[in-house]
Amino acid sequence: MKPIIVLMTNILRLDDHPALAEACDSGAPVVPLYIFDEAAMGRWVPGGARRWWLQGALKSLTADLAAMGSKLIVARGDTVAVLQKAMQQTGAGAIYLTRGYSPYERETEQAVHAYAVENDLLCRRFAGNLLLEPEMVENKQGRPYEVFTPFWRRACELIDDVAPLDAPEDMAAPDSWPESLPLDALEFAPMPAFWADPIAEVWQPGEAAARERLSDFLEEAAATYPKMRDYPAVEATSRLSPYLVSGEISPRRIWYETQRYIAANEASASGASGFLREVGWREFSYHLLFHFPHMMRAPLKERFADFPWRAGDGKALNEWQKGLTGFPIVDAGMRQLWQTGWMHNRVRMVVASFLVKDMLWHWHEGEDWFWDTLVDADPANNSASWQWVAGCGADAAPYFRIFNPIAQGEKFDKDGGYIRTYVPELADMPNDYIHKPFEAPEGVLRMAGVELGKTYPRPMLDRKAARERALAALGTIKK
């Protein structure tokens, strides 16, 4: 039998991998192939933190395949050119791939398909990284949903018996392997140690780590998820996002294990369903990206194309990026991002609102910074979420709803635990002032060892004036 090449680029796992399972079941030799095609991704080439992550995920996949007597072939360059060479070197007769939803993945898929047709090769495309394919969920008018709640209601009706596939037990090797690059040749880990080392302390990429995280989350936090998920000082969410981005765990596996947990723990059912609803937001983002592929850069609400974003100086943007705005919850979030490659969802909303509303900077600036620094930077979730906060996305928070960083801090980090962790220069501030050190009496600041403007910045802007400026800007694009 001729070997089958299985493209692993967007699905770095063995579990619940339909393309791989089908190839293995056929009994043909299987060649797992990862291609890093920078030109196809263009500006969406993975950022620094993601590249660090991918290096770890690929290392882990290499080891998992080796344990089965197989091998991960690693290549860099144009997908079709790499495939052509690999087909020649192995005598393969078929390409199996997992469907992607971003514009660059769709274009690459089309190119692979055209190449296969021209050369009389079999090319099969499998689903693998969503619960439901985007074409399956449509409203009564046959149109894509643009509001989350009806989308998720319909999706839940359509998701029935989810039975994820186990990892293959056998994988036949080809007589000759195509050439493969060492992982380092991808230059995925060029991050300086001062950036990468703290991230490595927090995260363990790879399929096994993802499965462990899911089961720990179900055991320890799923029951209280809806109640606790908004408190950034508490580890109450799954932290599965970076694994989902590279397909180290499948949403169907998450769904299945969570349903099993619900069946065994009826009292915790609503907590766990709340968690699945958030996984539903990921589905919704991908649904939007598929139907509105321009959304990675263009506002879904067209009138926002004329929004008068400020072309401010780079200094303010730099202060936001570094967590030096003088607003403690914003600074804690931006520093958590820098130090760990991840930020709590509640705080993501607060820092994003601060950038696009208080500072009036374009959401692209935030999208780009997140793209470079998040280990979970995701083409669908990042753009959908930034548009949601900026008010220009589907089902978005209205632009006039501006998060108050002080009130958000007081509500969700009452005792300031999150701020004390990431903004240590405020660690000794009393709870009453930790969210607004600029209002603290001189004596309180002195006791806490805080000197505003020296040990911790003064607020970079006047919130009242900033709010009025934001609302005035909104007025210019109102219909």
Ligand X SMILES: Cc1cc2nc3c(=O)[nH]c(=O)nc-3n(C[C@H](O)[C@H](O)[C@H](O)COP(=O)(O)OP(=O)(O)OC[C@H]3O[C@@H](n4cnc5c(N)ncnc54)[C@H](O)[C@@H]3O)c2cc1C
Q: Collapsing DSSP states into helix, strand and coil, what is residue 348?
A: helix
Strand-pairing partners, residue 31, are 5
Give the list of residues 6+ apart from residue 311 with CB closer than 8 angstroms, or none: none
Nearest to 199 by CA among 337, 33, 25, 352: 337
Check if 203 is active-site. no
Check if 386 is active-site. yes
Nearest distance from residue 237's CB to ligand X, in Å? Answer: 3
Of 71 and 287, nearer to ligand X (C-beta) is 287
Neighbours of 1 (CB within 10 A): 10
Of 146 and 425, nearer to ligand X (C-beta) is 146
Q: Collapsing DSSP states into helix, strand and coil, what is residue 345?
A: helix
# residues contacting ligand X (CB under 6 A): 26
Does residue 386 touch ligand X according to CB under 6 A? yes
Does residue 233 touch ligand X according to CB under 6 A? no
Nearest distance from residue 255's CB to ligand X, in Å? Answer: 11
Check if 309 is active-site. yes
Nearest distance from residue 374's CB to ligand X, in Å? Answer: 5
Does residue 434 touch ligand X according to CB under 6 A? no
Q: Yes or no: say if 54 and 246 are a contact pair by the CB < 8 Å rule.
A: yes
- Which residues within the stretch 264-283 sit at the binding site for ligand X (CB under 6 A)? 278-279, 281-282
Nearest distance from residue 349's CB to ligand X, in Å? Answer: 5
- Which residues within the stretch 283-312 sit at the binding site for ligand X (CB under 6 A)? 285
- CA–CA dist 92, 114 (Å, integer): 17
Long-range contacts of residues 80-83, Cβ cutoff 8 Å, at least 24 apart: 80/111, 80/112, 80/115, 82/33, 82/35, 82/37, 83/5, 83/7, 83/33, 83/35, 83/112, 83/115
Nearest distance from residue 383's CB to ligand X, in Å? Answer: 8
Q: Collapsing DSSP states into helix, strand and coil, what is residue 452?
A: strand
Which of 49, 54, 218, 374 touches ligand X by CB under 6 A? 374
* Part in contact with ligand X (CB under 6 A); list of ranges 30-38, 239-247, 265-273, 401-409: 239-247
For residue 90, give the H/E element and its range.
helix 79-90
The sign of the CA dihedral 15, 17, 23, 29 is: negative
Dig out the tokens for 62 from the structure.
């290499």
Nearest distance from residue 419's CB to ligand X, in Å? Answer: 18
Nearest to 60 by CA among 199, 211, 171: 211
Of 377 and 434, nearer to ligand X (C-beta) is 377
Of 6 and 240, nearer to ligand X (C-beta) is 240
- Which residues within the stretch 198-217 sit at the binding site for ligand X (CB under 6 A)? none
Nearest distance from residue 381's CB to ligand X, in Å? Answer: 3
Which one from 53, 363, 371, 388 is the annotated catalytic residue?
A: 363
Kindly give the residue spans of alpha helices, DSSP state H, lying in 203-344: 207-220, 225-228, 241-245, 251-264, 269-291, 314-322, 328-340
Which of 352, 392, 470, 474 touches ligand X by CB under 6 A? 352
Check if 278 is active-site. yes
* Part in contact with ligand X (CB under 6 A); list of ranges 66-74, 374-382, 428-436, 455-463: 374-382
Dig out the tokens for 308 from the structure.
């008068």
Of 71 and 229, nearer to ligand X (C-beta) is 229
Binding mask 389-418 for ligand X (x = CB under 6 A): x-----------------------------
Question: Would you give the distance in Å from CA 403 to the centre of its chain?
Answer: 22
Does residue 239 touch ligand X according to CB under 6 A? yes
* Part in contact with ligand X (CB under 6 A); list of ranges 77-85, 309-317, 333-341, 378-386: 378-386
Distances 349 to 53, 98, 330, 338, 371 between C-alpha atoms, Å: 23, 32, 10, 16, 15
Binding residues for ligand X (CB under 6 A): 229, 237-241, 244, 278-279, 281-282, 285, 345, 348-349, 352, 370, 374, 376-378, 381-382, 385-386, 389
Residues recognised as catalytic? 278, 281, 309, 345, 363, 386
